[in-house]
Amino acid sequence: MTPADLNAELAAYLDEVTAPFPEDSAARIRADLTGHVLEAVGARDGLELREALAALGPAAEVRAALKAQFFTRADVAWLERDGQLRRLLAGGATVPAPLWQSALGCVVVVGLLTWLVCGWPGLPALIGSREFTWAVPILLTLELALLEFAQRVILRRPVRSAAVLRRVYGTLIAPLGFALSLPVFAPSVVTEPGLLAAALGSALVAAYLTRPREALTLAGKAWRGAW
């Protein structure tokens, strides 16, 4: 078999493996697989390209394994049915703000909200007559830290996975934020089981009705960091 025939065989193998994937993912897969094949050929004297391809496995099996690591064209088309998710995908990679900047923003927000809700020692609340308690700034700090941590974990994922997780996160943030904020802004509700259940139930129903079906179906794949 001539070198041209071998190159054609490699090209056909790569075409079959990468057929379901978007162009950027296909290029990445091609480069990785070609590198593995050339490395195998170079590591063993006399090893032919055909043998190296056989060692990778049948194209159908390799393609099936890669579908767990990469979003397919069908996946992307499904995700783009959601207008908000389509905008997130088009936006590309997003870099989180520097940690010091996020921490400074957290301090400012906690300070202002605490002043609004219960004031600070020597500084009365802007709304109502609630007395200062350290529970308010502590709960607010924990809530903002949790939100910031979730954002940073999401943004470390590849672009498509990050977009899917941001869409899911945006849906969950309302009921979760509502639940975490109740003890701060309406502590009396916490002592009333009926009111608490109604408030949380309403938030969950709203989240269910506005759930992003496209993102949720692929959230597991996104969480595993698919490209």
Q: What is the mean pLDDT of residues 3-30?
A: 84
- What is the rounded CA–CA span in Å between residue 179 and residue 139? 12
pLDDT exceeds 80 at position 31: yes
All structural domains of the chain with their residue ranges: 3-70, 89-223
pLDDT of residue 194: 77
pLDDT digits (tens, 9 = 90+) for 167-215: 988 887 767 777 777 777 777 666 677 777 777 787 778 778 878 888 8
pLDDT digits (tens, 9 = 90+) for 87-127: 888 887 777 888 899 999 999 999 998 998 888 988 888 87
pLDDT of residue 123: 87
pLDDT of residue 200: 76
Nearest CA to 197 out of 173, 179, 170 is that of: 179
Instruction: Please give the model's pTM, rounded to 2 decimal places.
Output: 0.78
pLDDT exceeds 60 at position 6: no
pLDDT digits (tens, 9 = 90+) for 34-85: 888 888 776 555 457 778 788 888 999 999 999 999 999 999 999 988 888 8
Chain centroid to Cα 11, Å, comes to 33
pLDDT of residue 17: 94
pLDDT of residue 1: 40
pLDDT of residue 141: 92
> Rg of the chain over CA atoms, in angstroms?
26
